[in-house]
Structure 1
Amino acid sequence: MDEAHFETQLAALAAAIGERTRVRILCALMDGRAYTATELSTVADVTASTASSHLARLQQQRLIDCVPQGRHRYFRLASVQVAEALEKLMGLAGSEPITPRSKTPQRLRFARTCYDHMAGELAVALHDRLCRQGWLDAQHYTLSAAGLQALQGIGLSLEAIPAQRKFACACLDWSERRPHLGGHLGAVLLQAFEKQRWVVRQLDSRALQLTASGKRALQAHFDLLLP
């Protein structure tokens, strides 16, 4: 890249960040979650169409990514590097991010079923813990040898994967707006939790109740302590 092109690109990047509406959008995304254009338009106090044009500008500069999920399109920061750069700028400015508030009922937000796997705060925390432990590769969604051994140790059967089913994948959580574990691995994990009654389905909704034995198991097997 020659010097003139570099300067042009840097100026374009600075211009993308240096606009009040786009700043508010970027600050909202600093919590690590993904939001719809409508939600971000509310945070930025602009119309949905105006927000869409700003989101397109931010995408063009590779500051944010768009994640299709069902009928919706969610936007999130493009990388950890973007978040780190914004955090430093926010520190210089002394600003605090504005976060959209979820209206999801608390029991559904904490734990629920998402088709055949777990979702909600519990599932997101479990997904993140598997990655931090080095058991799950968050880029390719494969298990390490240690991860396979650990999950088999709590009763997961990972031998027969249904045809045309992903072994594991990220499923964007609609209340937490961060990934939980989907695919075959997510399904058998829920099966194991139910079999050992670590979680119990609620009869009147998709909510899952984390039992006392489930709390102890999360701490013992995953070093995960939840309130």
Structure 2
Amino acid sequence: MTTRDPRAPLLAGLARLIADETRAACLLALLDGRAWTAGELARHAGVAASTLSEHLGKLVAGGMLTEERQGRHRYVRLADARVAQLVEDLAAQVAPADAAGPRTLRESSAGAAMARGRTCYDHLAGRLGIAVTDALTARGLLVQDTGFALTDAGLGWFADTGIALDRGSRRPLARACLDWTERRPHLAGVAGAALCRHALGTGWCERVGSGRAVRVTAAGRRALGELLGIDGAALR
């Protein structure tokens, strides 16, 4: 007689939560790391507000989203970095080439912007994220031999650059996250989040519109060139 793994029903329940196109669209949108109103998500998913509210209720009850209310508005965001990692890892299994191509010039431009640079929950992704990861590795600040890890020189680089690392966090200091457009891992974890936060806070990067896409500013190209030797032309 076999004993069923007690995690089986939990895994099945999680799969049911994600196995709905509307809920999947909401989870992917929330990978920008920000809080969205129910109305914004309803418009993004192309469904009625009442329909979206039911879906959000299931995601909140399932522990994938957290919510808060401000006046008449209901805001939701991904529950934590673990949920973001799960969604991004699953999305990375679907190659862009497997999906239908962009139907309009606007979709094509948006896709190009996302591939060039974007936030992946709370860290940098796309060609920008890969360029930063490669530069850190080439300078011996990050090693990728058996998973991502900052070297002593890497810890010193973050400190010298003025990027504070939360060493008491339960999250890994450095973690590899598979980039779904580049098909290579970029830097995530505490270090990836701190670097992204610093880049946006100092104006090295700025958001493009209301989505996840980001672009490197002139100041960012200078800073990343001086600090990591990244060719500015590669960041345009």
TM-score interval, normalised by the smaller of the two chains? 0.5 to 0.7
1:181 maps to: 187
- Tell which structure's C-alpha radius of gyration is larger: 1
Q: TM-score, normalised by structure 1?
A: 0.54
Alpha-carbon distance, 1:71 to partner: 5.4
1:128 maps to: 134
Alpha-carbon distance, 1:162 to partner: 2.2
Unaligned runs of at least 5 residues, structure 2: 1-87, 103-107
Q: Would the aligned equivalents of 1:117 and 1:187 in 2 still touch at CA under 8 Å?
A: yes
Residues 1:158 and 2:181 are matched in the alignment: no
2:215 maps to: 209
2:120 maps to: 114
Q: Would the aligned equivalents of 2:93 and 2:180 in 1 still touch at CA under 8 Å?
A: no
Unaligned runs of at least 5 residues, structure 1: 1-67, 76-99
1:69 maps to: 89
Alpha-carbon separation, structure 2, partners of 1:178 and 1:74? 14
Q: Would the aligned equivalents of 1:161 and 1:184 in 2 still touch at CA under 8 Å?
A: no
Alpha-carbon separation, structure 2, partners of 1:211 and 1:160? 29
Alpha-carbon separation, structure 1, partners of 2:159 and 2:189? 17
> Percent identity of the aligned residues?
35
Q: Which runs of 4+ in 1 moved over 3 A?
A: 71-75, 100-104
Classify the secondary structure of the residue corresponding to 1:69.
helix
Alpha-carbon distance, 1:194 to partner: 1.3
Q: TM-score, normalised by structure 2?
A: 0.52
Change over 3 Å in CA distance of 1:110–1:73 after alignment to 2 = closer
> Which residue identity does 2:178 align to in structure 1?
L
Q: Would the aligned equivalents of 2:91 and 2:180 in 1 still touch at CA under 8 Å?
A: no
- Report how many residues are paired: 136
Alpha-carbon separation, structure 2, partners of 1:216 and 1:138? 26
Choose from 138, 147, 151 the match for 1:144. Answer: 151
The CA RMSD over aligned residues, in Å, is: 2.5
